[in-house]
Structure 1
Amino acid sequence: MSRILLVIALLVVLAYGALCAVLYWQQRALIYFPRDTRVAPEQTNFSLSRDGTTLRGWLVHPGKADAILYFGGNGESVEGYRETFAEWFPDASVYLLAYRGYGASDGQPGETALFGDALALYDTVRQRHPGGSIAVIGRSLGSGVASYLASQRPLSRLVLVTPFDSLASVAQAHYPVFPVRWLLHDRYESLRYLPRHQGKLLVMRAGRDEVVPAANTDRLLAGLPGPAQVLEIPEADHNDLSRFPAYREALVGFLRPEAPPLAP
């Protein structure tokens, strides 16, 4: 009997180790979902190159003084916002750049690459809008990219939609029986980067979010050195937040030039 129990215990340990190995080697396939976002390069109207990789996307309202950069979620086709943002932000040039491996962009996604691409996009936009303001919207995974960018470049306004303290912390909440914190390469530690942001900040959260636990957003907010404007839409979930009128009203109001603070 003891030998049988020992064999069973060994099999359990081996199975657990195999699952940990799968999580380790396949982690980027679990983080990034570019397949359904792919489009032909000729469908885009904006591009930039970095380190031999061409990134492509869409520019709405070119030639305006001010600019807005949008960083989307892990499986989001950012071009879906072209008409919406054209209507919502008529006085700003809006840049919707697909991540590496997404849309018509070349390369493979990864935290270091996406961070560097965000800096390159900002620097390109700053050259195009030398006297204007640059605001950023980051949604879900994009909130991690936006938080890093805000720690490295000055932003007039920053909007984080369904943000988290770190991707490692979110993953640990979803896979509590595995040592995800130690396995994850791409960590997106927004709690580390966001306190360096010196501009205005709006955080938008969904009351029924099952992707980013409320505790992860709470920890991000608790780690800020100053107050942020926070809007929670109780009926919204992680994916349909932008469909609620309150989302549009808050986003447009916050990004309007010289916008007054939102009511608490």
Structure 2
Amino acid sequence: MKKIVATPADHGVAYQDVYIAQGDIRLHGWWLPAASEARGTVYFLHGNAENISTHMHSVLWLPEKGYDVFLLDYRGYGQSGGEPELAGVIDDVRKGYQWLRDRQVTAPLIVLGQSLGGGVAGFAMATQADKPDAMVLDAAVASYPRIAGEVARRNWVTWPFAPLAPLLMPKGFDLIDVVGQLAGVPQLYLHSPDDSVVPIGHSHSLYAKAASPKQLRETAGPHIATFAFAAQRQALLDFIASL
């Protein structure tokens, strides 16, 4: 569990702490209200490393553009209790989504997941009846066995064990197997060819199996640095406006 190192207030953005009971643990998140009349709501699920305090810059600019934002830390991340494990993390994503639905937030409700967050968010939404208004998947992991093998092959020490690495990953939670169940939900896939963490082939595979309506946009820069660029921010705003 990594501690919160900064808050939105440190960057001049208003926020509220949110605590959600999830069984015998408590999840923590941040609610960032739109700076003006809300045009919609973005549910942000971050990548594997650190917590919402180190990933918030991906969405910290959205309240100024008129969007409410909810950032959630999965179990074992940040101030959320418990230990991280894949099935539980997916349940946490669904719990945060239900919290938003119960709050009757401003539509459209867009789920934005990056890296691991894209994989778990996509799986959670695809395998439940209550779908969001749109999905944005940035450098999403298509398959955990696949990424495990790819990571193992990057280092000469672990390269001989690359065929074994996928066997150690949890089974039955890969987005690639269920992405077609998002049919009818507008989907925007973002990925940089320069990504050295999750290869762009993951998004190509997801896009190929996804049902319409869908868009694929190749970005630039390192892993999940997408919204550091004004052009990519505008592409997200244009996608939401098209809803």
**TM-score w.r.t. structure 1 length?**
0.75
The alignment partner of 1:163 has SS state of coil
Q: Secondary structure at the match of 1:45?
A: strand
Q: Is residue 97 of structure 2 the alignment partner of residue 122 of structure 1?
A: yes
**Structure 1 partner of 2:152:** 175
Pair 1:201 & 2:184 matched? no
Higher helix share: 1
Instruction: Find the partner of 2:196 among 210, 217, 228.
Output: 210
Compared CA separation, residues 253 and 65, structure 1 to 2 (3 A):
closer
Q: Which sections of structure 2, spanning at least 5 residues, go unmatched?
A: 8-14, 154-159
Alpha-carbon distance, 1:183 to partner? 1.1
Report the structure number with the largest CA radius of gyration.
1
Secondary structure at 2:239 match in 1: helix
2:214 maps to: 228
Greater Cα offset, 157-166 or 222-231: 222-231
User: Which residue number in structure 1 is paired with residue 157 of structure 2?
Assistant: none
Runs of 4+ in 1 over 6 A off after TM superposition: none
Q: Given that residues 3 and 79 in structure 2 are in contact (C-alpha distance below 8 angstroms), is that contact kept between their aligned partners in structure 1?
A: no
Letter in structure 2 aligned against 1:194: V
* 1:248 matched residue in structure 2: 233
Structure 1 unaligned runs (5+)?
1-33
Question: Quick one: distance in 2 between partners of 1:65 and 1:51?
Answer: 33
| Root-mean-square deviation (Å) | 2.5
The whole-number CA distance in structure 1 between the counterparts of 2:50 and 2:132 is 23
Residue in structure 2 matching 1:155, options 132, 135, 146: 132
For the residue of structure 1 that corresponds to 2:190, the secondary structure is: strand
Deviations 1:109-153 (A, max 9, x none): 111111111111111211111774321000000001111122113
**From 40, 49, 55, the counterpart of 2:21:** 49
User: Conserved in 2, the CA contact under 8 Å of 1:67 and 1:129?
Assistant: no
Distance 2:223 2:73 in 1: 20
Q: Cα distance, 1:210 vs. partner?
A: 0.8
Instruction: Assess if the C-alpha contact under 8 Å between 2:33 and 2:68 holds in 1.
Output: yes
Q: Distance in 1 between matches of 2:211 and 2:239?
A: 20
Verify: 1:140 aligned to 2:115, yes or no.
yes
Does 2:74 align with 1:86?
no
Label 1:86 to 1:186 Cα distance change in 2 as closer, same or farther (>3 A).
farther
Distance in 2 of aligned mates of 1:190 and 1:60: 28
